[in-house]
Amino acid sequence: MTQVLVTGGSGFIGSWCVLRLLEAGHDVRTTVRGLGREPALRAQLHAATGFDDARLTVVRADLQSDDGWEEAVAGCDYVLHVASPTLRNTPGSEEAMVSAARDGVLRVLRAARAARVRRVVLTSAFGAIGYGHPPRSTPFTEEDWTNVDADIAPYQRSKTLAERAAWQFVQDEGDGLELTAVHPVGVMGPVLGPDDPPSLRLIRGMLNGEVTVCPPFGSSWVDVRDVADLHLRAMTDPAAAGERWLASAGPSLRSVEVARILHERLGDRAAKAPTRELPLMLARALSRVSPQLRAIRPQLGQDFDATSAKAQRLLGWTPRPVEDTIADTAESLIAHGMTAGVRFTR
């Protein structure tokens, strides 16, 4: 029986990866930063699918410490390294976030190499591909890298430098360890429990009425369920070794188009969603005083378009329509009582 380690199994993407692995018949071990999360994680997974509890092991390991990683990877055939420091769990300077992300990746890779793991799937991000570039008319692909010397957010810089370090490690010290990287664009989709995924705050804010006007930028989006599916394909497909894979459901959508889909699919339940886009010049001016707009200032006026043609062609991956994902996201947030008292961004 194949044993797979998923780091960060209580997170939004990580929990869906655990779920899909269990459904596919794999034995799963997953890391959490505190074992107090285990009961809720098991309950959420059992609510979504049936599985033998013995096939899931939850262990404690923190990306900022060496403790626990040798035991976490022992006996594993594959590793899905999904966990990554964010502003939520890595307070402090930008340098601290970059260091935590890079050092965490290297800890996992060293442990995987020592345990003779076959392949590590690294959950990177579009943030390591499409930022720090001038506006462009063509979609971003896996050949692109974020410019870390440009005006970009700490999270995007940390994901880029961590991935660079991972590829360099495997090249110089991998000793046969295979690496592949998955790069999701903006991730939406249903939640398995009352988590607080930052990528869902745009929709939450629209449903709450806290986003009263749409910020002027566009992004490609993808369903978390399809992101998990791409991880499993990248884990075992021979074509995936040594490659980067963009996970995107289609062309860029402006925020105002996301709001329009909410109105069309949810009707009165999306009555608070905005209908207008904030003028770009006004958005840039307000970003000097608005924490929400300041956090996305480098994105204002841009359309971050990304193509997943490579994954669809070589791995047979097929993402679902983004309109369905937006509707399913909203339905899930409403069902879990998560549509009150949340800001658009942090």
Q: Which tokens in the block code for residue 63?
A: 């990306």
What is the SS3 assignment for 231-256?
HHHHHHCHHHCCCEEEECCCCCEEHH
Q: Which tokens in the block code for residue 291?
A: 């924490």
**Cα dihedral: 27, 312, 187, 212 (round 10):** -160
Catalytic, 310? Answer no
In angstroms, the CA 124 to CA 309 distance is 18
Q: Which tokens in the block code for residue 206?
A: 């629209």
Closest-CA residue to 308 (of 258, 252, 256): 252
The catalytic residue among 20, 29, 119, 159 is 159
Q: What is the DSSP letter of 319?
A: P
Long-range CB pairs of 16-19 (<8 Å, 24+ gap) are 16/189, 16/192, 16/224, 16/225, 16/227, 16/228, 17/80, 17/82, 17/228, 17/231, 17/232, 18/45, 18/56, 19/45, 19/48, 19/49, 19/192, 19/228
Angle (CA) 227 121 33, round 5°: 85
Closest-CA residue to 290 (of 218, 221, 219, 210): 210
Three-class SS state of 115: coil
DSSP string, 37-100: GHHHHHHHHHHH----GGGEEEEE--TT-STTHHHHHTT-SEEEE-----TTT--S-HHHHHHH
Long-range CB pairs of 148-152 (<8 Å, 24+ gap) are 150/298, 151/298, 152/127, 152/298
Catalytic residues: 159
